[in-house]
C-alpha cells in the first residue's frame, strides 16, 4: 500500500482542501475526495451511494429540460446553481448521457475564427478549467494543447489569422515552427517525402481533452445534489399545449407540466421538434463517426489536427488513440456510419503518422449531429411560447457543454439571451447574419 501511495502520492495534497471545503459547505458523505476514496476502499467500497437519484416524475415543475445529455444536464445544473431554480426535471429517453456526450472525441478548445464564436467557446473553456472543482467530480480535463497543422503557406496565413483573432479576444494562441512541432509530436510526417509537408501549426496550449462520460455524470450528480430530478428511460412522446403555448410534455412515464420547457436534444432535434409541430428547421441530422485504437503506451501528447484533410487525434489516458474525421455526409438518425469515411480517416491517419499503420483500430461508433446551415449552434427562446431551443451543435457540442448549459440556463431563467449566446438565434439565417466559420453557406455537409 505504501509503495502504491508513493507512486501516486500527489493526490494527498488535495485532500485537506477537499475536506475543509466539505466541512464549510456541510454537505453529506457523498463528497468525493482522495480521503473518501481511501475510507471506502478500506470498507470494501460498500458505502458508495448512487451518483444521482432515480426519482419518479412529479406532475409539475418550474422547468423541464428535454434531453439528459451533456447540454441538458449542464442546463439543469446551472439553473439550480446560478439562478436558484431547483424545481427542475431533466427527462431522458434512454440512459443518461446516451447521446453525443458519450460519443465524441473529447476535444476541448476555443480556437475559433469569428469573434462571436471565440467569445462563446472561450467562456466555455474558462468554465472547463474549474469544472472538476465546481462539480466535485473529476472530469479529467487535461490541458495538453490543441495543435492545428498547416501544410501550405496559404493555410498557415489562414491559421495565423485565426490565432490573431483569438489573441485580440484575449485567448491564447501560438505559432509553432516545423522543428518545434517535430519535437512535440514524434512520429509525425513533418516534411521531406511527406506529400503534405508541415509548414507550421497553430497551438492553443489551454485546449485539450476531457473524459466525456464523466462530464455527463458529474453534471448529473451536481444537479441532483441541488434538487434537480433526473428521470431516465422517460421518452417524450408529445407536447402539452395551451393554444400555441407549450405547457409541458407527454412522456412514456406520463404527462409532466412546466412553465418552461427547454429542448436540448441535439441529434434528435428534428424528431422532437416535429412533435411540437415544427417540421422544418435550418438543420440536417448527420452521422459523425469516431474511432479508438487499441491501448498503447503514451504515443502522442497533444491534440493534433491534419490540415490537408480532416482528421483530429489525441490519446486517452487509458492509451487508446481517439480520432475522427468528416461526417458521412447524408441525413441519418442511425448511430452508425459507413466504410468510405472509415477508410478516408485511416488513410489520413497513416499519412500523418506512418508508423501507425501497424496499430489497430479497436472500436468505431457514430453520433448524430445537428448540422446547421452556417455551422454554428442555436440557443434561443422559442420558436414557440413556453419553449426554449438549444440545438445545431454540428461537431462542436462537447467542448461547448459548460457554456451551452450556462447560457441556456440564463436564457430560460431570464427570458433573454446572455451576451455570449445572443448571436445564436434562429432568425439569424433569415437576416443574413450567419456565423459561418468555414464560409460554406447553407450546405450542412460542408460545415
Partner 1 sequence: MSPRRTADSGRIDRSRQIRFSFDGANYSGHPGDTLASALLASGVSLFGRSFKYHRPRGVMTAGIDEPNALVTVLKGDGREPNIPATMLEIYDGLTVVSQNRYPSLAFDVGAVNGLAGKLFSAGFYYKTFMGPVFGPLKGTRFWMFCEWFIRRAAGLGRAGYAADTARYERVNAFCDVLVVGAGPAGLMAARAAAEQGRRVILADLDTRLGGSANWSDETIDGMAATDWVASAIADLSGRDNVRLLPRTTVWGYYDNNTLAALERVTDHKAKPETGEPRHRSWTIRAGSVVLATGALERPLVFPGNDRPGVMLAAAAERYAVEFGVLAGERAVLFTNNDRAYRSAAALARAGARIATIVDVRDTVSAAARRLASECGAELLAGRAVVATDGRRQLSGIAVRAFDARSGTVSGDARNLAADCLLVSGGWSPALHLASQAGARPRWDSGLQAFLPPEPTQNWIAAGAVAGAYSTAEVLRQGLETGRMAAGSADEDDGGLPLAADDELDPNPAPVFEIRADGKAFVDHQHDVTADDVRLAYREGFVSVEHLKRYTTLGMATDQGKTSNVPGMAIMAAAVGKPIEEVGTTRFRPPFAPVSLGSLAAERHGHLKPERLTPMHDWHVANGATMFTAGLWFRPQIYGLPGETIEQAYVREAKAVRDGVGIVDVSTLGKIAVQGPDAAEFLDRVYTNMFSTLAVGKARYGLMLREDGFAYDDGTTWRLGETEFLMTTTTVNAGKVMQNLEYCLDVVWPDLKVHLTSVTDEWAGAALSGPKARQVLEACVTGTAVDDATLPFMGIVRGEIDGVPVTICRLSFSGELAYEVYCGAGHGTHVWETLMEAGELFGIVAYGLEALGTLRIEKGHVTGAEIDGRTTARDLHLDWMLSKKKPFIGSAMMDRDGMTGPGRLELVGVVSLDGRPLNGGAHIVESSNPAAPRDSIGHVTSVCYSPALRKYISLALVEDGKARLGTRAFVSDPVRKRFGPVELVSHHFFDPEGKRLHG
Partner 2 sequence: MSEFTYQGEAGRQRPDPASTDRAAWDAYVYDRLNPAGEHNELWQHSGGCRAHLVVTRNTLTHVISSVAFAREAGRAHSAGRRGKGARS
Binding site for partner 2 (CB under 8 A): 268-271, 274, 279-285, 329-334, 340-341, 344, 373, 429-430, 442-445
One residue of 348, 372, 401, 444 binding partner 1 per CB under 8 A: 348
Cis peptide bond upstream of 383, omega within 30:
yes
Closest CB 400 distance from partner 1, rounded Å = 18
Residues 172, 174: Cα–Cα separation, whole Å: 7
Q: Which of residues 139-168 bind partner 1 (CB under 8 A)?
A: 139-144, 151-154, 156-165, 167-168
Residues 283, 381: Cα–Cα separation, whole Å: 17
Establish if 250 lies at the interface with partner 1 (CB under 8 A): no
Establish if 170 lies at the interface with partner 1 (CB under 8 A): yes
Decide if 426 contacts 382 (C-beta within 8 A).
Answer: yes
DSSP string, 315-340: E-TTSEEEEEEEEEEEE--SS---HH
Establish if 432 lies at the interface with partner 1 (CB under 8 A): yes
One residue of 350, 382, 422, 445 binding partner 1 per CB under 8 A: 350
One residue of 19, 62, 175, 422 binding partner 1 per CB under 8 A: 175
Q: Is 252 exposed, middle or buried (0-12, 13-18, 19+ CB in 10 A)?
A: exposed
Nearer to partner 2, 130 or 443 (CB): 443
Grid cell listed for 434: 450567419
Residue 144 partner contact from partner 1, partner 2, none using kind-dependent CB cut-offs of 5 to 8 Å: partner 1
Establish if 182 lies at the interface with partner 1 (CB under 8 A): no
- The total of other beta-carbon atoms located within 10 Å of residue 134's CB is 17
Nearer to partner 1, 243 or 280 (CB): 280
Establish if 333 lies at the interface with partner 1 (CB under 8 A): no
Establish if 351 lies at the interface with partner 1 (CB under 8 A): yes
Binding mask 4-43 for partner 1 (x = CB under 8 A): xx-xx-xx-xx--xx--x----------xxx-xxx-xxx-
Is residue 282 helix, strand or coil? coil
Residues 158, 151: Cα–Cα separation, whole Å: 11
Residue carrying the nine cell digits 447540454? 71
Residue 24 partner contact from partner 2, partner 1, none using kind-dependent CB cut-offs of 5 to 8 Å: none
User: Residue 214: enclosing H or E segment and its boundaries?
Assistant: helix 212-225
Query: Judged by CB under 8 A, how many residues of this single chain contact partner 1?
Result: 132
Amino acid at each position: 500500500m505504501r509503495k502504491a501511495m508513493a507512486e501516486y502520492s500527489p493526490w494527498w495534497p488535495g485532500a485537506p482542501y477537499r475536506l475543509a471545503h466539505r466541512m464549510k459547505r456541510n454537505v453529506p458523505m457523498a463528497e468525493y475526495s482522495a480521503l473518501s476514496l481511501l475510507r471506502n476502499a478500506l470498507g470494501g467500497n460498500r458505502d458508495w451511494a448512487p451518483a444521482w437519484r432515480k426519482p419518479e416524475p412529479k406532475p409539475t415543475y418550474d422547468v423541464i429540460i428535454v434531453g439528459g445529455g451533456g447540454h441538458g444536464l449542464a442546463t439543469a445544473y446551472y439553473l439550480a446553481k446560478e439562478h436558484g431554480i431547483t424545481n427542475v426535471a431533466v427527462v431522458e429517453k434512454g440512459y443518461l448521457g446516451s447521446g453525443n456526450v458519450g460519443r465524441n472525441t473529447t476535444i476541448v478548445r476555443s480556437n475559433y475564427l469569428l469573434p462571436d464564436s471565440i467569445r462563446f467557446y472561450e467562456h466555455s473553456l474558462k468554465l472547463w478549467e474549474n469544472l472538476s472543482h465546481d462539480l466535485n467530480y473529476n472530469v479529467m480535463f487535461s490541458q495538453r494543447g490543441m495543435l492545428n497543422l498547416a501544410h501550405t503557406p496559404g493555410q498557415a496565413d489562414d491559421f495565423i489569422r485565426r490565432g490573431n483573432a483569438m489573441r485580440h479576444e484575449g485567448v491564447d494562441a501560438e505559432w509553432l515552427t516545423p522543428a518545434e512541432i517535430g519535437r512535440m509530436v514524434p512520429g509525425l510526417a513533418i516534411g521531406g517525402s511527406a506529400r503534405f509537408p508541415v509548414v507550421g501549426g497553430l497551438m492553443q496550449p489551454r485546449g485539450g481533452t476531457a473524459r466525456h462520460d464523466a462530464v455527463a455524470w458529474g453534471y448529473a450528480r451536481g444537479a441532483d445534489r441541488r434538487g434537480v430530478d433526473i428521470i431516465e428511460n422517460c421518452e417524450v412522446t408529445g407536447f402539452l399545449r395551451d393554444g400555441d403555448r407549450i405547457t409541458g410534455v407527454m412522456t412514456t412515464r406520463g404527462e409532466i407540466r412546466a412553465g418552461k420547457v427547454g429542448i436540448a436534444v441535439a441529434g434528435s432535434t428534428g424528431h422532437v421538434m416535429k412533435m411540437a409541430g415544427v417540421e422544418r428547421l435550418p438543420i440536417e441530422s448527420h452521422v459523425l463517426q469516431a474511432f479508438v485504437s487499441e491501448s498503447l503506451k503514451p504515443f502522442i501528447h497533444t491534440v493534433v489536427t491534419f490540415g490537408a484533410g480532416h482528421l483530429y487525434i489525441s490519446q486517452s489516458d487509458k492509451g487508446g488513440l481517439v480520432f475522427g474525421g468528416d461526417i458521412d455526409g447524408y441525413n441519418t438518425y442511425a448511430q452508425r456510419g459507413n466504410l468510405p469515411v472509415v477508410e478516408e480517416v485511416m488513410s489520413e491517419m497513416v499519412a500523418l503518422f506512418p508508423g501507425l499503420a501497424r496499430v489497430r483500430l479497436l472500436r468505431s461508433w457514430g453520433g448524430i449531429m445537428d448540422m446547421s446551415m452556417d455551422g454554428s449552434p442555436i440557443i434561443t427562446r422559442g420558436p414557440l411560447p413556453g419553449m426554449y431551443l438549444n440545438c445545431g451543435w454540428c461537431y462542436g457540442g462537447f467542448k461547448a457543454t459548460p457554456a451551452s448549459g450556462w447560457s441556456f440556463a440564463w436564457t430560460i431563467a431570464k427570458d433573454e439571451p446572455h451576451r455570449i449566446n445572443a448571436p445564436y438565434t434562429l432568425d439569424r439565417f433569415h437576416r443574413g447574419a450567419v456565423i459561418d466559420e468555414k464560409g460554406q453557406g447553407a450546405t450542412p455537409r460542408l460545415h
